[in-house]
Structure 1
Amino acid sequence: MKKNKTWLFIIALLVVLIVILWGVGRKKGVFEKSYSDFAISDTASVTKIFLADKIGNSVLLSKDEAGIWMVNNKYVANKDNIGLLLHTMEYLSVWSPVPDAAHDNIIKRMAVVSTKVEIYQENYLIDFWKIKLFKKERLTKTYYMGEPTMTNESNVALMEGASQAFIVYLPGFRGFVSPRYSAYEIDWRDHTVFKIRLPQIKTIVHENFEEPAESFIIEKVGSRTFQLKDLINERIIPAYDTAKVFDHVGGFRKVNYESVERSMSREDLDSLIQNNLFYRLSVEDMEGNVRSVKMFRLPELLITNYQTSDELIEEQYNLDRLLIEIEGEPEIFKAQYFVFDRLIQPLSYYLITNQEK
């Protein structure tokens, strides 16, 4: 009997040891998996993303109460860029661990060149079957996005707290994903210059500095009625093409700039702003808010060859792009004439000629 008890004790002890070893092994497997699990399964629950590089740039992308993504709690974020980042975070996959031969050097390199990524999500502390209680925002994932690999089709990445780095990629995408993790504020801001619908517009002021006589004002005088005034003499224009005016007033629903001007020095920009202003366009809404945009010609040097083989270098203007300054914003932006030409037609464009009468 005593012998049987001894065997039962030994068997029970073995069972306990097996359970403990299985649990440790299971935990170890989950632990290791967490260090290679970069993807976010539920991007709809993401509320904040913090990005910081190794040279001092950082940006906070956060979703406000209305569900609108903001940049550093100041600017509306670019929807396309946010969508691209969330898509990348959802499907980011591991190709393989970084090879041992290169691992230590890559870890050292990531300490100098990488972007820290913090992802915050709103989750329920209790989420069992259909019972969801105590919603709370918490930091769910932190990793470092490193440089592209030699193939330029993947990146190296390291989960915070891990000792093993991995090669990560985006299935179906040929390229590296690190540019989508930019820590520059300006890369995330919405590119909107004007975003106002026709019923909201009160006045539009056109100031043409190259041809002052072509300057004018459009004023709302009824729910769908406007008047045209010569800006210099403040003379009301008795007859104008209403279809053209309505088309123009309706053209401010979505006007975007192309990019921030980064190629020119501050000194060159100051000189350009001082000498190349050619137009100012100001739109006032029904609440009295004014959005004013200055436009500048972008110089371009052209070399013209003549039959004498002499070369004449003459200053022309870029025919595709211009620079703009939005009142209240410190940056200078690059924009396309393709977008702005239709908004800065001269006064004479809207007048009815004798042939049209």
Structure 2
Amino acid sequence: MKKNLIILLIIVVIAGLSYMAFNLNSEKTSTLAEEGLTNFAIVDTGHIDKIVLTNTFGQKMVVVRTAGTTDWTNEAGDCVQEELINNILETIYRIKVKANVPKGMSETVLNNLNQSHTKCEIYVNNILEKTYFVGTPTPDHYGTYMLLEMPDKGRSPEPMIVYVPGFRGTLQPRFNADWRQWACSGIFKYKPENVKKITLKNFEHPDRDFVIESDGSKEFKISHHGEYAQIFDTTRVRDYILKFQKIHFNQYNYTMNEEQIDSIRNSNPYVQISVEGHDGKNVSVICYKIKAGKGDVDLEGNLLKWNQDVMWAFLDNGDLVKVQYFVFDKIIKPKQYFTREPLR
């Protein structure tokens, strides 16, 4: 009982701090503009070099442009999805005010923004240019409630209904502060000539393990537990190496807590696939099957033991992701596939 009270108190304190941190009226550094601000757009997006997204759930995402290029990364220099960058830059460039919020609704919209919004800080040449407070969609979902703040004018005293001409829908999803949505989904991205070694370890069927070695051109070797095959299909090996140019995961873990993640990690793995590059870049992924849902059956009506669509995978950095069999079946091959021996 005492433990539950302590946990409840912690939650209340965190919630209170979050409210204070994001309450639009509590930031002492902000002054109110003399009138409603409507100049949301930034025409020269080529000089935008940093965007900071923070939401009322405590999530934060910072994307930065690499100096002198059009390439964007997160603060740590990791890849971010180009499509999301293009979407947010297009929005900043084309955003327009559709209408003022009706007087009778303004207070309600402001209160809603206080409770839930994403703060988008836009930097031009490393100087804060504009800040958007992105709210919810309008009832018809053709507009988005948004408040503008500018360093030289202050914060708009009233929110606006904004949109992007030609786009039907809300702009809210384009300002996502969840880093998992921004992270690139690529696992293996190897040019064929850069592949030095591919190791597959099948924990369920060790007789299917193999190691492929490549000099980067036309010479290949394939071995099983240290024993090299004298005869194998070089065309299949070459085609297999080509598959590692583009292998992506499906999505980040959004459902499992730390205890459940540890449980997966301590369960029996399915396969581990590791690639070494001639450039010294090594990538490894270890996959775990997911139990089928209760009552799931195959095409013949037989109960399934395992999910037939996705499985869990741990990346090198420890992140847990879901991968699709549709993608991974291309690279989960047995040694016998190359040596043309029958499977046991």
Give the match for residue 330 of structure 2.
342
Give the match for residue 136 of structure 2.
147
2:110 is equivalent to residue 121 of structure 1: no
Conserved in 1, the CA contact under 8 Å of 2:194 and 2:216? no
* Counterpart-to-counterpart distance in 1, 2:261 and 2:282: 25
Conserved in 2, the CA contact under 8 Å of 1:203 and 1:284? yes
CA shift for structure 1 position 221? 4.2
Larger Rg: 1
2:85 is equivalent to residue 82 of structure 1: yes
* Counterpart-to-counterpart distance in 1, 2:133 and 2:296: 51
Conserved in 1, the CA contact under 8 Å of 2:87 and 2:174? yes
Give the match for residue 191 of structure 2.
197
Give the match for residue 209 of structure 1.
203
Map of 1:50-199 to 2, 5 A cutoff?
50-65=52-67, 66-122=69-125, 137-160=126-149, 161-199=155-193
Conserved in 2, the CA contact under 8 Å of 1:50 and 1:117? yes
1:343 is paired with a residue whose SS is: coil
Conserved in 2, the CA contact under 8 Å of 1:68 and 1:76? no
Conserved in 2, the CA contact under 8 Å of 1:301 and 1:313? no
Give the match for residue 37 of structure 1.
39
TM, length-normalised to structure 2: 0.82
Give the match for residue 273 of structure 2.
281
Give the match for residue 12 of structure 2.
none
In structure 2, relative to structure 1, the CA distance for the partners of 1:222 and 1:89 (3 Å cut) is: closer
* Counterpart-to-counterpart distance in 1, 2:129 and 2:34: 14
Moved more, 203-212 or 67-76: 67-76
CA shift for structure 1 position 97? 0.6
* Counterpart-to-counterpart distance in 1, 2:208 and 2:223: 11
Give the match for residue 254 of structure 1.
246
Give the letter for the 2:245 counterpart.
R
In structure 2, relative to structure 1, the CA distance for the partners of 1:165 and 1:226 (3 Å cut) is: same
Deviations 1:115-173 (A, max 9, x none): 11111123xxxxxxxxxxxxxx3222112111112122221000121102101122222
Moved more, 238-247 or 42-51: 42-51
- Percent pairwise identity: 29
Aligned length: 301
CA shift for structure 1 position 353? 5.4
Conserved in 1, the CA contact under 8 Å of 2:196 and 2:214? yes
2:318 is paired with a residue whose SS is: coil
Give the letter for the 1:49 counterpart.
I
Gaps of 5+ in 1: 1-29, 123-136, 306-311
* Counterpart-to-counterpart distance in 2, 1:93 and 1:205: 53
CA shift for structure 1 position 69? 0.6
CA shift for structure 1 position 268? 2.7
In structure 2, relative to structure 1, the CA distance for the partners of 1:304 and 1:340 (3 Å cut) is: closer
* Counterpart-to-counterpart distance in 2, 1:278 and 1:353: 22
